[in-house]
């Protein structure tokens, strides 16, 4: 069932500041810290006030960095999909651990995320299972084979663990919401999103120059048109009161109201 769609009134979203140059990627944690990845492969952490906290220069050791998970400010996860490797850093960007998922016979890790118990969720595309690894990379839990559950199982690009649920997002098949035991709680045809994230009970994504948000089970999709802010954006992230957009190598920060409430 497709959710009911309502277009929210577009207010003014003023530019607050511009941070960095020659950036390739970024993330903001829930304390407001910045993680800025340069085109040269240097990862910097800045405090919410813009002060330098730490630098990690070994980003390219395992090839191209595919994704960063900063949902736990004390533990940063770097995911190298081409090599099936996860690098775990502490809050000062010191390397704590390296997990080679191929040693657990996970040969095609599609997406990863931090788990509720400080481990790692990984979607194993060959087995079509969501698996949970401990801090040493050992498999300590897994779902049933999704090919036995769905006629067309997901191939998630992103995973999020929030509010005692696990969210799998496949831009071609939509959103799949599971509990920690692997039971499917919700499936919604939210298609074509980029920059998927979960804030509280809301899922948020970008579709062109629209910001869209949805509460699973509510059957109502909210859209906010932001053509000026979202045109040409490589990546974006929403927090409670700000919109962060990576564009032309810099991070543009806008004031944002009401979307994540």
Give me the mean pLDDT over the 200-211 stretch: 94
Smallest CA-to-CA distance from 158 within 233, 68, 245, 59 is with 68
Place of tokens 């899922």: 203
> Is residue 137 a contact partner of residue 104, using CB atoms and an 8 Å limit?
yes
Place of tokens 């109201």: 257
Give tens-digit pLDDT for 78-124: 999 999 999 999 999 999 999 999 999 999 999 999 999 989 999 99
CB atoms < 10 A from the CB of 85, how many?
20
The CATH superfamily holding the domain 4-255 is: TolB, C-terminal domain (2.120.10.30)
> Where residue 2 falls among pLDDT bands split at 50, 70, 90?
very low
User: Is residue 14 scored above 80 in pLDDT?
Assistant: yes
In 48-135 the beta strands, taken as DSSP E runs, fall at: 52-56, 67-72, 75-80, 85-90, 95-100, 109-114, 120-124, 129-133
Helix (H) or strand (E) holding 228: helix 227-230
How much is the pLDDT for 217?
Answer: 80
What is the rounded distance in angstroms from the CA atom of residue 30 to the CA atom of residue 8? 26
> Where residue 256 falls among pLDDT bands split at 50, 70, 90?
confident
> Where residue 3 falls among pLDDT bands split at 50, 70, 90?
very low
**Percentage of the chain modeled with pLDDT above 90:** 83
Smallest CA-to-CA distance from 155 within 171, 167, 145, 170 is with 170
Beta-bridge mates of residue 186: 177
| Every domain of the chain and the residues it spans | 4-255
What is the rounded distance in angstroms from the CA atom of residue 148 to the CA atom of residue 136? 29
What is the rounded distance in angstroms from the CA atom of residue 132 to the CA atom of residue 40? 32
Q: How many residues does the chain have?
A: 261
User: Is residue 219 scored above 60 in pLDDT?
Assistant: yes
Helix (H) or strand (E) holding 214: strand 210-214
Q: Report the predicted TM-score, pTM, of the whole model to 2 decimal places.
A: 0.91
Region label for 138, one of left (φ > 0), alpha (ψ between -120 and 50) or beta (otherwise): beta
């Amino acid at each position: 069932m497709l959710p009911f769609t309502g277009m929210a009134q577009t207010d003014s979203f003023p530019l607050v500041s511009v941070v960095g140059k020659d950036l390739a990627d970024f993330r903001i944690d829930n304390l407001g810290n910045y993680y800025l990845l340069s085109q040269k492969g240097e990862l910097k952490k800045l405090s919410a006030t813009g002060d330098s906290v730490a630098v990690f220069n070994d980003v390219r050791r395992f090839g191209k960095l595919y994704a960063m998970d900063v949902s736990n400010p004390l533990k940063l996860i770097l995911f190298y999909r081409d090599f099936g490797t996860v690098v775990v850093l502490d809050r000062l960007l010191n390397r704590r651990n390296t997990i080679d998922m191929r040693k657990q016979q996970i040969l095609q890790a599609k997406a990863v995320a931090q788990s509720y118990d400080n481990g790692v969720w990984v979607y194993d595309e060959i087995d079509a299972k969501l698996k949970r690894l401990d801090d040493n990379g050992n498999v300590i839990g897994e779902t049933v084979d999704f090919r036995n559950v769905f006629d067309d199982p997901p191939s998630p690009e992103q995973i999020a663990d929030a509010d005692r649920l696990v969210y799998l997002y496949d831009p071609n098949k939509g959103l799949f919401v599971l509990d920690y035991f692997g039971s499917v709680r919700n499936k919604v045809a939210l298609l074509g999103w980029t920059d998927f994230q979960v804030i509280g009970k809301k899922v948020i994504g970008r579709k062109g120059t629209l910001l869209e948000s949805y509460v699973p089970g509510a059957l109502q999709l909210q859209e906010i048109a932001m053509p000026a802010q979202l045109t040409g954006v490589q990546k974006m992230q929403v927090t409670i009161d700000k919109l962060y957009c990576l564009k032309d190598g810099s991070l543009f920060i806008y004031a944002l109201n009401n979307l994540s409430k």
